[in-house]
Amino acid sequence: MNDQVTLMKGNEALAMAAIRYGADGYFGYPITPQSEVLEKLEEEMPWETTGMVVLQAESEVAAINMVYAGASCGKAVFTSTSSPGFSLMQEGMSYMCASEVPALVINVMRGGPGLGTIHPSQADYFQACKGGGHGDYHPIVLAPASVQEMADFVALGWDLAFKYRCVSLILADGLVGQMMEKVVLPEQRPRRTEEQIREQCPWAVMGRKDMRPKNIITSLELDDDKMEANNHRFQATYREIEKNEVRYELVDTDDCDYLMVAFGSMARIAMKTMEMAREEGIKVGLVRPITLWPFPSQIIAEVAQHVKGILVPELAAGQMIEDVKLAVECKLPVAHFDRLGGNVPTPDEMLKALKEKLINA
């Protein structure tokens, strides 16, 4: 057996993958169900090996601003939190996007609104994909459905963030965070040297070495025309991301009569539902969005051409379904199925909903 294969929680995989990526720093605040990220990092003591900084901040507000600073210095920095903490981080998300700095943020969602529960939810979809903070901005939103993807999306998230100078957001949920699965961790990469960062990120705030022109990272621009130009630049980046970075997985979509669109842990439950449906002779396929923004609208529209209807199961009261309806321009029935507040459906429940809301509707 490969020595790199191991069994760990999704949250632990996030921490380990970050160390292996050559991360420069983590700043976070404990909140269930993602506290294992910080716990694992403190246990691993990467400051002794790679030199990575790990700091338990005084709040999520402080944590996101520490990440904002680290990203502004061209460093590979990240934070992780869960829904209530993510709400506190929205200001920082907006500032980081406005400042065009490459950061990685992780939200392991729990049931809300308010303090809510500590159990899995997907009800931060709007907050993640449609803003959440003020102004016109988008992070790239990655939705892992397995512990392996928790590990893989750390590297992917950072690579994309540095490529586009944008924020990458891993939008997981309590189930993927707490579950243990087999995972193959990447090889350890060295942290970038200051020289490498200066070369890769000439905009980074690292001091005026050799008295190069000064670098300023700011989201402030009081001249309306210049701020409009900034906005146009952000939007141009977003169009580029939409063109290049849409990711999804297709399961049994070639011959399906019905389609489900689900992400994260709901996609896993949907796959079991599909197995059960096939046993009864009902052919159901799945489009699993891996990027929630940019949303895989085109492939959904393509698959929708040969199905009778779509079911969108969410741990939310109808959020992603809006994007699915837009994708298919409401040309066919799009039904919704949810469990809320931290409850997770069983495959049985989902199959029942599929029949009631779609097949026999």
Partner 1 sequence: MENNDIIKIENRVYKKPSLLNDSHMHYCPGCSHGVVHKLVAEVIEELGLQEKAIGVSPVGCAVFAYNYIDIDWLEAAHGRATAMATAAKRLMPDKLVFTYQGDGDFAAIGTCESIHSCNRGESIAIIFINNAIYGMTGGQMAPTTLLGQKTATCPYGRRADLNGYPLSITPLLAQLDGTRYVTRQSVHTPANVRKTKAAIKKAFQNSMEGKGTSVVEVVSTCNTGWKLSPEKANQWMVDNMFAKYPLGDLKNVDAEKKD
Partner 2 sequence: MKAEIVIAGFGGQGVLSMGKILAYSGLMEDKEVTWLPSYGPEQRGGTANVTVILSDDRISSPTLDSYDMAVVLNQQSLDKFESKVKPGGVLVYDSYGIHQPPTRTDIKVYRIDATEATIEMNNSKTFNMIVLGAMLKINPMVTIESVLKGLKKTLPERHWHLLPLNEQALRKGMSLIAE
Residues 93-152 that bind partner 1 (CB under 8 A): 95
Minimum CB distance to partner 2, residue 347 (Å): 5
Q: How many chain residues are in contact with partner 2, going by CB under 8 A?
A: 28
The whole-angstrom separation of Cα 132 and Cα 169 is 12
Q: For residue 225, what is the enclosing H or E element?
A: helix 224-244
Minimum CB distance to partner 2, residue 280 (Å): 16
CA distances from 228 to 98, 102, 131, 221, 271 (A): 12, 21, 18, 9, 45
- Regarding 165 and contact with partner 1 (CB under 8 A), the answer is no
User: Do 124 and 81 meet the contact criterion of CB atoms below 8 Å apart?
Assistant: no
- Regarding 272 and contact with partner 2 (CB under 8 A), the answer is yes
Residue among 55, 69, 118, 227 that touches partner 2 (CB under 8 A): 118
Residue among 10, 22, 27, 143 that touches partner 1 (CB under 8 A): 27
Minimum CB distance to partner 2, residue 252 (Å): 11
Residues 239-268 that bind partner 2 (CB under 8 A): 265, 268
Contacts of 282 (CB under 8 A, 6+ apart): 257, 258, 354, 355, 359
Nearer to partner 1, 84 or 333 (CB): 84
User: Position 68: which residue type?
Assistant: Y
Comparing C-alpha atoms, which of 307, 297, 294 is closest to residue 333?
A: 307
Q: For residue 52, what is the enclosing H or E element?
A: none
- Regarding 49 and contact with partner 1 (CB under 8 A), the answer is no
User: Do 13 and 188 meet the contact criterion of CB atoms below 8 Å apart?
Assistant: no
- The interface region with partner 2, picked from 15-23, 204-212, 229-237, 343-351 by CB under 8 A, is 343-351
Residues 155-184 that bind partner 2 (CB under 8 A): 174-175, 178-182
Contacts of 315 (CB under 8 A, 6+ apart): 109, 111, 120, 121, 122, 123, 173, 265, 266, 338, 339, 340, 343, 344
- Regarding 305 and contact with partner 1 (CB under 8 A), the answer is no
Minimum CB distance to partner 2, residue 175 (Å): 7
- Regarding 32 and contact with partner 2 (CB under 8 A), the answer is yes
- Regarding 353 and contact with partner 2 (CB under 8 A), the answer is no
DSSP sequence for 319-346 = SHHHHHHHHTTT-S-EEEEE--TT----
The whole-angstrom separation of Cα 48 and Cα 264 is 34
The whole-angstrom separation of Cα 21 and Cα 37 is 15
Helix (H, G, I), strand (E, B) or coil at 114: coil
Q: For residue 160, what is the enclosing H or E element?
A: helix 147-164
Minimum CB distance to partner 1, residue 225 (Å): 18
Minimum CB distance to partner 1, residue 91 (Å): 6
Helix (H, G, I), strand (E, B) or coil at 260: strand
- Regarding 7 and contact with partner 2 (CB under 8 A), the answer is yes
Q: How many chain residues are in contact with partner 1, going by CB under 8 A?
A: 39
User: Position 243: which residue type?
Assistant: K
The whole-angstrom separation of Cα 60 and Cα 42 is 18
Residues 170-229 that bind partner 1 (CB under 8 A): 194, 205-211, 214-220
246 binds, among partner 2, partner 1, none (CB under 5 to 8 A by kind): none
Q: Binding string, 66-95, against partner 1, x = CB under 8 A?
A: xxxxx-xx-x-x-------------xx--x
Angle 147-164/10-21 helices, nearest 10 degrees?
A: 40
150 binds, among partner 1, partner 2, none (CB under 5 to 8 A by kind): none
Nearer to partner 2, 33 or 46 (CB): 33
Structure tokens at 29: 């605040």
- The interface region with partner 1, picked from 21-29, 37-45, 266-274, 334-342 by CB under 8 A, is 21-29
List contacts with partner 2 (CB under 8 A): 1, 5-7, 32-33, 118-119, 174-175, 178-182, 265, 268-269, 271-275, 344, 346-349
List contacts with partner 1 (CB under 8 A): 24-25, 27, 53, 55, 57-59, 61-63, 65-70, 72-73, 75, 77, 91-92, 95, 194, 205-211, 214-220
